[in-house]
Amino acid sequence: MKRRLKNILVTGGAGFIGTNFIHYLFKNKFFEGIIVNIDKITYAGNLENLRDVEQRFGGERYFFEKADINDFDKIKAIFDGYEIDTVVHFAAESHVDRSLHGPKEFLHTNVMGTFNLLEVARKCWTGEEKKKKLFHHISTDEVYGSTKEMKYFLESTAYQPNSPYSASKACSDHLARVFYKTYGLPVTISNCSNNYGPYQFPEKLVPLMILNILDEKILPVYGDGKNVRDWLYVEDHCSAIWKILNQGKIGETYNIGGENEWENIRLVHFLCEKIGQLNGKDKDYYNKLITFVKDRPGHDRRYAINCDKIKQELGWKQEVDVEEGLEMTVKWYMNNPEWVDRVKSGEYKNWIKKNYKMR
Ligand code: NAD
Ligand code: TYD
């Protein structure tokens, strides 16, 4: 039975990847359905990201509902009201450093919130019709913990999370799997490596460094800067999710990655050099801002993903070369000074209040 993929509930659509996913669907002719975006609008949610979508499709093919994924009654009413047939679950507390200082919110949203959404789907999707539905749970490669050189995370790799963030995501993955195994809920899961691209909140490495370079502020590199991350351009993540929505096998997990392993220090040097070129500065001009600071507790040394399964079984591949993707990202932040200023000053919260009537 073919999946409907018509009335899609996106959770956390005002965040970084959710925003890019909504743009991706509306940009591509293959998607003809509607999107209902539910978001609690935490510090990480910014509706300005979706201003153009709201203008072009608002009230017809795009609907925003301010809601906490923990609110069973509200989410159930949204499910019933919009006849939701597909869930793409992004909503989460997503920043490792914040999870070190305040883990509780991570458990509340990532674990209990995911549980609540799964419960709503279980109650709403019943009978034969269930086969046309899909609950896609978005997760991270951080659930696998840190890996040694020449070793790669497979979908079968045992979970070994090392931060409150990754532990909460690991728990949510297990819950999604359990709802498939125990209740037959049509679930797929993906575990993706570090994303970068437009609209990322400047607390994560790439946007933080770009904005600090532009402001000539210090560039805080944790530890010796030799921790390795695998980098994927956010639009490539979106195309992988779309593949899974269409062709992913129920009950399966898919790893998604860029196959671009870079030490953090290499990435920071690259951004310094690129912005130097664009600003007509000397090649090494911005390097002087690099400052090695105290390491993050429990800092995972290396993430490296094997994403052969999604490539071989679903025919997905990355399109964006990492250096080109980083350059596009740098230019996006340089070309959107108003967005940047509002985010840096906190003014984006007022912007949302002024421009949106929250339901
Ligand atoms: P983000 O922090 O930019 O956005 C999260 C969004 O969720 C925000 O809009 C926020 O307002 C919303 N939200 C938070 N709590 C909520 C709640 N209780 N109810 C409703 N909405 C809530 O995160 P992101 O970087 O876009 O990540 C999205 C998903 O992708 C997360 O599940 C994350 O674990 C996963 N992921 C992220 C990366 C990455 O590199 N950013 C990599 C792999 C997987
Ligand atoms: P981050 O973007 O927080 O993603 P994650 O921890 O989920 O991988 O960090 C990416 C890497 O960059 C990680 O090894 C920590 C490091 N890092 C710094 O060195 N300095 C910083 O200011 C930040 C935010 C991260």
The closest residue, in CA terms, to atom 14 on ligand 1 is 92
Mean pLDDT of 168-180: 98
Q: What 3-state DSSP class applies to 37?
A: strand
The 10s digit of each residue's pLDDT in 240-264 is 999 999 999 999 999 999 999 999 9
| Ligand closest to CA 236 | 1
CA–centroid distance, residue 89 to ligand 2 (Å) = 23
**For the whole model, what pTM was predicted?**
0.98
Q: How far is Cα 37 from Cα 24, in angstroms, rounded to an integer?
A: 14
The 10s digit of each residue's pLDDT in 299-337 is 999 999 999 999 999 999 999 999 999 999 999 999 999
C-alpha torsion sign, points 76, 78, 81, 83: negative
Q: What 3-state DSSP class applies to 74?
A: helix
pLDDT of the residue at 352: 76
DSSP 291-302: EEEPPPTT---B
Active-site residue, from 62, 144, 152, 165: 165
- What torsion, rounded to 10 degrees, do the Cα atoms 115, 120, 121, 122 define? 80
CA–centroid distance, residue 223 to ligand 2 (Å) = 11
pLDDT of the residue at 350: 83
Beta strands 62-66 and 194-196, pairing class: unpaired
Q: What is the mean pLDDT of the chain?
A: 96
Beta strands 228-233 and 194-196, pairing class: parallel
Tokens of 321: 């070369």
Instruction: Of 215, 328, 307, 221, give the one whose Cα is nearest residue 256.
Output: 307
Specify the CATH class of 7-198+233-260+304-321 in words.
alpha beta
Active-site residue, from 48, 142, 173, 236: 142
Q: What are the residues whose beta carbons fall under 8 Å from the beta carbon of 53, sequence distance 6 or more?
A: 22, 23, 26, 62
Q: What percent of the chain has pLDDT over 70?
A: 99
| Ligand closest to CA 210 | 2
Domain definitions of the chain by residue range: 7-198+233-260+304-321
Active-site residue, from 65, 85, 141, 236: 141
User: Residue 197 — left, alpha, or beta (φ > 0 → left; ψ -120 to 50 → alpha)?
Assistant: left
290 near 268, Cβ under 8 Å? Answer: yes
Beta strands 34-39 and 62-66, pairing class: parallel
Phi, psi at 317, each rounded to 5°:
-150, 160
For the chain, counts of helices (H) and of strands (E): 14, 12
The 10s digit of each residue's pLDDT in 117-128 is 999 999 999 998
pLDDT higher than threshold 90 for residue 50: yes
139 near 173, Cβ under 8 Å? Answer: yes
Measured at the CA of 269, the angle between CA 267 and CA 275, to 5 degrees, comes to: 100
DSSP 178-233: HHHHHH---EEEEEE-EEE-TT--TTSHHHHHHHHHHHT--EEEETTS--EEEEEE
User: Residue 216 — left, alpha, or beta (φ > 0 → left; ψ -120 to 50 → alpha)?
Assistant: left
